[in-house]
Amino acid sequence: MPQITLGNIRKSFGSSTVIPDFSAQIEDGEFLVLLGPSGCGKSTLLRMIAGLSDISGGDLRFDGTAVNEWTPSQRGVAFVFQSYALYPHMTVRENIAFPLIMDAFQKWYHIPVVNSVMRWKLMRRPDIAERTDHIARQLELTPMMDRRPANLSGGQRQRVALARSLVRDPSLYLLDEPLSNLDAKLRTQMRSEISALHKRVKKTFIYVTHDQVEAMTMATKIIVMNKGEIQQIGTPDEIYANPANTFVARFVGAPPMNLLNVRQHGTVLSLDGGAEWTHPGILPTKQASLGIRPENLNLRPEGEGLIPIEVSLVERLGAETLLGCRMVSKAASETLLGEDLIFVRVQGNPQIEASARFGLSYAADDVRWYDQTSGQAVTVCDNSPLSRCA
């Protein structure tokens, strides 16, 4: 199993640069998710790792060996495409066995009649047939081995694509948004199947997606990308709890982290329009935006808490309720402040209606600070033993 090192990888198409400079290391057995919005270069990066696209600059190394010039098959990778890319005229069995047949293919089999005969013979060679059947059993494809992809459902096609990539027992699995063509229910099921597969085969997976739920649930490590650049590398928990910048804070989490462009006056925070409250903890040394996840805001009866709000949007999701709130100025209690809604996540369904008024409170530990110009996270230091600066 290779350790993959991406050293200053660059990709340009003509004069436009998609990935300016990308460096990262991927360890054995990791489930790495490349997460980012459409067009951020994550699929391009995956294709470069697979050898399907040329690398414009930098080094790609497998266990220290530069593989820039290696063909896809030399790299020994499996690739699962978004469109599944199954061979439409082959049966499921032929699709799964194809990589094995190609591995056993000799140059002289290209002679016209020999070709058909040898492919037919290879299909029936005990080791190939056995391996094909074994993988098909694993992915519950046995009943449909003689069907063609056109007559399979999306989920079944996806499983055939997975089976085809599994059959050669590669050391690196590359998956390019493999679940985006499936419906929500099937996606959940396939998500757990892929996670289980990763645990079973114990190989390195690199998974490209723009869906943060897939990233959070499957990854052991996430690289958040934007415009071809790394925004943050970390475990799902790290990325969620401590976003490195406002892009990550807004991209990861649904609804995203609330970001308030507050002004500091001593320990008092204020917003345009007059909302003012005393922050219950230590403030950063310079002006910064306050970031807080919706589940870390607590509802208090009107008149209590730190920030007075009015509910303007209620989304009841069953197990939880999302409230979109606007701030109410303390000075003129009729004015609702700010364009962006502050999202609050509450457990269950407390039957809150729009235009209800509450107060919001939060714990200082749950707050993240971001530089108002660069958007980068700002660390707050105090002398307590729990300080994150320690």
Partner 1 sequence: MTDISTGAARSLPQRARKSRFSAKAVLPYIFILPPVMYLAVFMFWPLARQIYLSFTKTRLINPSRSQFIGLDNYDRLLASPDFYSALHITVVYSVMAVVLGVALGTIAALALNRPFPGRTIVRAVLLFGWAVPNVAASLVWLWIFNERSGVLNRIVTGLGLDSVPWLTTTHMALPSVLLVTVWQVAPFVMLVMLAALQSVPEEVREAARIDNADKLNIFRAVTLPHVMPTLQLVSLLVAVWSIRRFDIIYLLTGGGPIGSTSTLIVKLRQTAFENHDLGLASAYGVIGLILALSVATIHALFNRHRAKRSMQ
Q: Which residues bind partner 1 (CB under 8 A)?
A: 50, 52, 71-73, 77-79, 81-83, 85-91, 98-99, 102-103, 105, 110, 115, 146-148, 150-151, 164, 168
The nearer residue to partner 1, 151 or 349, going by C-beta atoms, is 151
What minimum distance in Å lies between the beta carbon of 43 and partner 1? 11
Give the nearest distance from C-beta 100 to partner 1 in angstroms.
Answer: 9
Q: Is the peptide bond before 255 cis (omega within 30 degrees of 0)?
A: yes
Strand order, beta sheet including 172-176? 77-80, 172-176, 204-209, 31-35, 221-226, 229-234
Alpha-carbon distance of 377 to 12, in angstroms, equals 30
The H or E element containing residue 96 is helix 92-103
Distance CA 278, CA 187 (A): 45
> In the bound complex, what is the minimum distance in angstroms from residue 13's beta carbon to partner 1?
14
CB of 199 to partner 1, least distance (A): 23
Cα separation, 359 vs 306, whole angstroms: 6
Full DSSP string of 49-62: HHTSS--SEEEEEE
Q: Number of C-alpha atoms within 13 angstroms, CB side, residue 73? A: 4
Nearer to partner 1, 158 or 212 (CB): 158
Closest approach of Cβ 313 to partner 1, in Å? Answer: 41
Can you state the angle between helices 154-166 and 126-138, rounded to 10 degrees?
140
* Closest CB to partner 1 among residues 101, 328: 101
For residue 355, the SS3 value is: coil
Q: Looking at beta carbons only, is 74 or 333 nearer to partner 1?
A: 74
**Phi/psi of residue 65, nearest 5 degrees:** -95, 130
CA proximity to 248, closest of 268, 223, 273: 223
Least distance between partner 1 and beta carbon 371 (Å):
42
Token duo for residue 30: 């990791």
Report the nearest approach of partner 1 to the CB of residue 191 (Å). Answer: 22
Show the tokens assigned to 346.
Answer: 């509450």
